[in-house]
Amino acid sequence: MILTDTSILAEMAKGTIVISPFDRKHLGSNSYDVHLAKHLAVYRSDILDAKVHNEIDHFHIPDDGLILLPHRLYLGVTEEYTETHRHVPFLEGKSSIGRLGIDIHATAGKGDVGFCNTWTLEISVKQPVRVYHSMPIGQLIYFEISGEIGTPYDTKASAKYTQRTDKPVESMMWKNFDKK
Active site residues: 122
- Give the span between the Cα atoms of 59 and 79, in whole angstroms: 15
- Give the span between the Cα atoms of 18 and 146, in whole angstroms: 20
- Give the span between the Cα atoms of 180 and 2, in whole angstroms: 44
CA distance to 1, 39, 124, per residue, from 143 (Å): 6, 29, 26
Instruction: Enumerate residues 6+ apart whose C-beta is below 8 A from 4.
Output: 29, 30
User: Of 61, 141, 135, which Cα lies nearest the Cα of 102?
Assistant: 135
Asked if residues 119 and 76 have their Cβ atoms less than 8 Å apart, the reply is no
Which backbone phi and psi does 53 adopt, to 5 degrees?
-80, 105
